[in-house]
Amino acid sequence: MEVKFESVEGRSLQYYLLLLVLALMAAAGAAVTWWASISGLWITGMTNRIPWGFQIVMAVYYIGFSEGCLVVAGLYGVFGKREYKPFVRIAVYLAMLFLIAGLLSIFTDQGRMDRVFVEPFIHFNLQSMFSINPILYLGHIVICLIFLGALFKEKEGFTRVIATLAFAWAFCVHSGTGAIFGYGARELYESPMLPATFVAAAMASGIALMIVVIVSLFKITKRQVDDGLILWLGKLMAVTITVVVYFVFVENAYRAYIVELREAAHYYLFGGFHSILFWFGLVLCGMILPMLIIFNRKTGHSVRWVIIASVLVLFGVLCERYVIVLPGLTHPPDLFPGMEITTVPGIKVDDGVVSYSISFVEVVQALGVVGVIGFLFVFGLKVLKLLPNEARVLDHHTPAS
Amino acid sequence: MNRREFLEAGGGILFAGVSCAYAGHLLTSYATKTTGEDSPAFGKKMGMVIDVNKCRKGCTECLKACKAENNIAQPGDSRWDVHWIRKVTLKDKNNTNVPEKPVVLLCNHCDKPPCAQVCPVQATFKRPDGIVIVDYHRCIGCRYCVIACPYNARYFNFKEAEVWSNKGYPRRTHGVAEACNLCAHRLEIGDVPACVVACQNIGAGAITVGDMNDPESDISKLIANNSTKRIRMDLGTEPKVHYIGL
Amino acid sequence: MFKKLQQYDKGTRYVALVVLVILIPLAYSIVKPIFAHNDPITEVFLEKPDPSHTSCVRDTTYMRLHHWELLTKIREEVVRYGNRTIEIRDGKKEAIGLNDCRNCHTSRERFCDRCHNAVNLYPECWGCHYYP
């Protein structure tokens, strides 16, 4: 049976209200960003000890989603699972949007936003991950656009080629994003495992997002989706979570084992707010509970429980992004090993552990980015033929069996 | 023309326009390209020696001189204050009988600077004479260099400088990163950095700046005659700020 | 044009709107300098330096059109190579920079800004450099 794609009607009051709310969010974010560009980035609550804040956390979080979305697209495009064709257009469109969201987050976080579109493209520095990544990101957006075009034209052979390219490119993109931190100089950043952890967590979060988006979208637009498809995606998500568990374990075991890093590892695991996020957010909500839910025979076969697991994974991966970025900054670099440092009063840079809290401005900026891409997504549903008429398991057997 | 063709044409026009704009920019930047081939900076290797034994406890003259000379942003809130040079006191954790040492810390002008490696626009770079300096005309304010510096020596202008004490030297707007530039503008006209002058004025003379490639310079003799130490040599950044008696 | 657009479905019209919104500022920014060049610059009153200063580093026409190239060249040489003696006048090396402009052109407001305002160009030199 051939899948037919269509656009939503989009004339109801709720639709326009949703668009309005998203536009207002975007406007609020833009206003705050404008304020920051005029008066300086101090309004975001970042300091010279913590130069990267919540915006960078959200940027890597958004960029991570696009990997998982492309995994869902790749199920059809690369691995030839034809029953996932109904989701492929939404997946590629979302993958593109979330990369745009990540770029927006990074863009609004720069000190001189007026130069961002000029200088990095004139003065390349190929030794810097920050110079390599824009090439990867922009290439990813272009590939997603071509992918979408191929899907709209229903070109089977070309779709397969471009899907494979997009899948491989996404690996590079997300390894590169992880490498920004993994190849950094801070004690808690430096880890060759980080790009790999990043890719695995990106897959888990992206698949979780796809599950939530697909189920809610099909429910709102009163379309039929077979439970088997969602359940199998849930299983795939659980498998990627096991990989995340393994990588996170190896990374922390390494830090705890090496004598020089033991103090830093102790700070990471038992050192304050981020440790709560690590244990409660990442380990409990992001790993243990979803795996219990999905591998349990009873709850694993219920779409409702799989959605709960997906939401938990979304929260857990957000915590994972937070504990990648922030503890490495709040933990001081050891300038003089074996010495105790006291500073001149008034100079805060050499203080030991410093605290960081997410400020209101940063939350508004993050919501603004959500508003922008949410607007683009909801509007795209009306303009482009993204939604299938229905999603069915082919040949009447679940692909999981 | 249907929607597909329209999209293709629109995308093509956009792509062509953007690439033309960038090509034009690249060409103009090529037209004004400089090589600096006859710069006096080539062949030099500027460095600093700090004698910890001569440094006085509680004295912050070099810090004040640096701030006045380089128009450093001091918004009055210690979270966003910029310190090109700062002072700490060191106490040995294992042996409490060792007296406390006052140490001034600044950009180490590493031979292999991690900040210059990570800069996406080559705004932070190592000059031919080894000074690690920021091109504020180019910096986009991504703060990757602040992250990458293992010495906490790089700062970001979260707030703009309000006082403009030295009109002969530019200040910085908010949104660019900066660090000590070894008073390059003073070295170029044959002067010595402001912190060195301030330290000589109070009679301590703990800081020396000079060309380490020149065997006759004060700094080369100081390094040759004393056992010097550099901070965190294990990181492989090869700093050029040497400490005597650390 | 709008009548022709009505033949397409709503999607095309939305996409056209978006493309126009992007293209109009782009086109404006490309076209603006062409018209700006035809503006009567000569009618803008620029404060000339007093008669004791006979000439600038290059002739007036060159300075009007290409002074930014000289300034960029000086900037690159000084900032990136630490080279302060630069060949600006033909065959003569001298230590010269932005600060030396104000020896003759004493007022930024009555010299730089008037012309830049007239041609709608706002370089950001004075955020950092001092020029009374």
Segment A292-319, tens digit of pLDDT: 999 988 888 888 999 999 999 999 999 9
Whether A279 and A291 have beta carbons less than 8 Å apart is answered as: no
Distances (CA, A) of B61 to A304, B56, B68, B78, B195: 68, 10, 11, 19, 8
Count how many Cα atoms sit within 13 Å of the Cα of residue A5 in the half-sphere of its side chain: 18
**Rounded distance, CA A390 to CA A368, Å?**
32
- In this prediction the ipTM stands at 0.87
Per-residue pLDDT averaged across B123-151, rounded?
Answer: 91
Inspect the interface and report whether the beta carbons of A130 and B142 lie closer than 8 Å: yes
Q: What is the pLDDT of residue B25?
A: 66
- Put simply, the answer to whether B36 touches C81 (Cβ < 8 Å) is yes
- Whole-number pLDDT of residue C28: 76
Asked if C14 is an interface residue toward chain A (Cβ–Cβ < 8 A), one would say: yes
Among the listed residues A130, A65, A132, A62, the one whose alpha carbon sits nearest the alpha carbon of residue A365: A62
Identify whether the C-beta of residue A311 lies closer than 8 Å to the C-beta of residue A212. Answer: yes
CA distance C83 to A164: 51
Pairing of strands B241-244, B228-229: antiparallel
Rounded Cα–Cα distance for residues C74 and C55 (Å): 19
The mean pLDDT value of chain A amounts to 88
Q: How far is A383 from chain C (nearest CA, A)?
A: 5
State both tokens at B103.
């140490």
Show the domains of chain A with their CATH numbers: 5-332+354-394 (1.20.1630.10)
Least confident of A7-11, A330-334, A366-370, B172-176: A7-11
Q: Domain extents for chain C? A: 1-38, 43-132
Place of tokens 């390209």: B33
Neighbours of C35 (CB within 10 A): 10
pLDDT in tens, A61-96: 999 998 889 988 888 888 888 888 888 999 999 999
Distance (Å) from the alpha carbon of C96 to chain A's nearest alpha carbon: 26
Which residue type does C38 have? N
Picking from A22-26, B4-8, B141-145, B210-214, which range would have the lowest pLDDT averaged per residue?
Answer: B4-8
The structure tokens listed for A139 are 């290439």
Strand-pairing partners, residue B242, are: B49
Higher pLDDT, B206 or C61: B206
Comparing CA positions, the residue from A315, A268, A304, A309 lying closest to residue A292 is: A309
Q: At residue B23, what is the residue type?
A: A
Half-sphere exposure of A71 (CA within 13 A, CB side): 26
Is residue B45 within 8 angstroms of chain C, CB to CB? no
Task: Report yes or no: C15 at the A interface, CB cutoff 8 Å.
Answer: yes
A397 token code pair: 């057997």
The distance of B104 to chain A (nearest Cα, Å) reads: 10
Q: How close A17 gets to chain C, by Cα (Å)? A: 19
User: What is the pLDDT confidence band of residue A395, given thresholds at 50, 70 and 90?
Assistant: low
Cα A98 from Cα B176, distance rounded (Å): 28
Between chains, do B60 and A344 touch, taking CB under 8 Å as contact? yes
- Find the CB nearest C80 among B1, B36, B168: B36
Q: Which two tokens stand for residue C7?
A: 């033949």
Identify whether the C-beta of residue C131 lies closer than 8 Å to the C-beta of residue C102.
yes
Exposed/middle/buried for residue C45 (C-beta within 10 Å: 0-12, 13-18, 19+):
exposed
The residue that leads in pLDDT, B180 or C28, is B180
For chain C, residues with pLDDT lower than 50 are 1, 5
pLDDT digits (tens, 9 = 90+) for B18-65: 777 767 766 666 655 666 777 788 888 999 999 999 988 888 899 999
> What band does A368 get if pLDDT is binned at 50, 70 and 90?
very high
Q: How many CB pairs under 8 A join A and C?
A: 7
Question: Chain B contacts of A48, Cβ < 8 Å?
Answer: 79-82, 146, 155-156, 158
Q: Whole-angstrom Cα distance, residue B211 to residue B241? A: 12
Edge-to-edge strand order for the sheet containing B241-244?
B207-211, B46-51, B241-244, B228-229
* Lookup result for tokens 């126009």: C20
Over residues A151-159, mean pLDDT: 86
Q: Which of A210-224, A332-346, C93-107 has the highest mean pLDDT?
A: A210-224
Q: What is the DSSP string of B186-219?
A: HHHTT---HHHHHHHHTT---EEEEETT-TTSHH
pLDDT grade for A383, boundaries at 50, 70 and 90: confident
Query: What's residue A401's pLDDT?
Result: 41
Q: Which residues of A touch B121 (CB under 8 A)?
A: 115, 119-120, 122-123, 125, 131
Contact C26 B2 (CB under 8 A): no
User: What pLDDT is stored for residue C1 in this prediction?
Assistant: 47
Residues facing residue B155 across a β-bridge: B178
Residue B137 CA, distance from chain mean position: 15
- Give the residue-averaged pLDDT of A252-261: 89
Which chain C residues touch A7 with a CB distance below 8 Å?
A: 11
Radius of gyration for chain A, computed over Cα atoms and rounded to the nearest angstrom:
22
Mean pLDDT (whole number) for A223-239: 89
**pLDDT exceeds 50 at position A23:** yes
Supply the pLDDT for residue A16: 92
A182 pLDDT above the threshold of 90:
no
Cα A302 from Cα A291, distance rounded (Å)? 14
3-state secondary structure chain A: CCCCEECCCCCCHHHHHHHHHHHHHHHHHHHHHHHHHHHCHHHHCCCCCCCCCHHHHHHHHHHHHHHHHHHHHHHHHCCCCHHHHHHHHHHHHHHHHHHHHHHHHHHHCCCCHHHCCCHHHHCCCCCCHHHHHHHHHHHHHHHHHHHHHHHHCCCHHHHHHHHHHHHHHHHHHHHHHHHHHHCCCCCCCCCCCHHHHHHHHHHHHHHHHHHHHHHHHHHHCCCEECHHHHHHHHHHHHHHHHHHHHHHHHHHHHHHHCCCCHHHHHHHHHCCHHHHHHHHHHHHHHHHHHHHHHHCCCHHHCHHHHHHHHHHHHHHHHHHHHHHHHHHHHCCCCCCCCEEEEECCCCCCCCCCCCCCCCHHHHHHHHHHHHHHHHHHHHHHHHCCCEECEECCHHHCCCCC
Among chain A residues, the shortest Cα distance to C124 is held by A114
pLDDT at B41: 80
Provide, as residue numbers in chain C, all residues whose Cβ is less than 8 Å from the Cβ of B22: none
Of C11, C22, C73, Cβ closest to residue B32: C73
Q: Is the pLDDT of residue A55 over 80?
A: yes
Q: Do strands B241-244 and B155-156 pair parallel, antiparallel, or not at all (unpaired)? A: unpaired
Please say if the pLDDT value at position A213 is more than 80. Answer: yes
Query: Is the distance from CB of A349 to CB of A247 less than 8 angstroms?
Result: no
User: Which token pair is C62?
Assistant: 């060159």
Please report the pLDDT score of residue C43 as a whole number.
61
Tens-place pLDDT, residues A107-153: 999 988 888 888 888 888 888 888 888 889 999 999 999 998 888 88
| C87, β-bridge pairs | C93
Chains near A with 3+ CB pairs less than 8 A apart are B, C
Q: Per-residue confidence at A370, pLDDT binned at 50, 70, 90?
A: very high
CB A62 within 8 A of CB A206: no
| DSSP-assigned letter for residue C49 | P
- Note whether A127 contacts B117, CB cutoff 8 Å: yes
Burial of A219 (0-12, 13-18, 19+ CB in 10 A): exposed
